[in-house]
Structure 1
Amino acid sequence: MRAFRVLSHAVLAVTALLAAAVPASAKGEDGAPTEAGTTFRTATAVKQGQKATASASAGDYLYWQFPAGAGQRPTATATVNLADVSARHGAATWRLDVFDGLRRRQPCASGEPEKKAGQQDSSVTLTCTLRTVRPWAERWSDDPLPGAYYLRLTVADGPEEDLGLPVRAEVEATAGDAGGAHAGGGELGAPLHAGAVAEPKDGWTGGWWSDRWLWTGGGALLAALAGIGGYTLTRHPHRFRSRPGAG
Structure 2
Amino acid sequence: MDRSTPTTRVWGRAALLAAAALLAFPGAAAADGDGDDKGDAPTEAGTSFRTATPIRPDQEATAEASTGDYLYWAFPVDTGQRATVHATVKLPDAAARHAASTWQVDVYDGLRRRQACRLGTPKRTVAPDAASVSLSCTLRTVRAWSEQWANDPLPGTYYLRLTVTGLKADDLGLPVRAETKVTTTDAGGAQAVDGSLAEPLVPGAGSDRQRPAAATEPEDGWSSGWWSSRWLWTAAGGVLAALAGVGGYALTRGSGRPARVPQGM
What TM-score results when the alignment is normalised by the length of structure 2?
Answer: 0.71
Whether 1:101 aligns to 2:119 is no
Partner deviation per Cα, 1:81-108 (whole Å, 9 max, x = no partner): 0000111122211000000111100001
Shift of 1:181: 1.9
Aligned residues with identical type, % of pairs = 60
Whichever residue aligns with residue 183 of structure 2, its letter is T
2:53 alignment partner in structure 1: 44
Contact 2:87 2:136 (C-alpha < 8 Å) held by counterparts: yes
Superposed CA RMSD: 2.3
Partner deviation per Cα, 1:139-184 (whole Å, 9 max, x = no partner): 1111111111111101122333222211111111222222222222
Distance 1:183 1:156 in 2: 38
Shift of 1:219: 2.0
Whether 1:66 aligns to 2:75 is yes
Equivalent residue of 2:115, what SS? coil
Whichever residue aligns with residue 189 of structure 2, its letter is G
Unpaired runs of 5+ residues, structure 1, are 1-29, 240-247
Partner deviation per Cα, 1:187-212 (whole Å, 9 max, x = no partner): 21211124433311342226866433
Contact 1:69 1:202 (C-alpha < 8 Å) held by counterparts: no
In the alignment, which of 214, 218, 221 is matched to residue 239 of structure 2?
Answer: 221
Contact 1:135 1:205 (C-alpha < 8 Å) held by counterparts: no
1:2-151 maps to which residues of 2 (within 5 A)? 31-151=40-160
Unpaired runs of 5+ residues, structure 2, are 1-38, 204-211, 258-265
What TM-score results when the alignment is normalised by the length of structure 1?
Answer: 0.76
**CA, structure 1 residues 102+208, in 2 after alignment: closer, same or farther (shift >3 Å)?**
closer
Distance 2:112 2:227 in 1: 30
Whichever residue aligns with residue 120 of structure 1, its letter is D
Number of residue pairs aligned between Structure 1 and Structure 2: 210
Distance 1:111 1:83 in 2: 24
1:27 alignment partner in structure 2: none
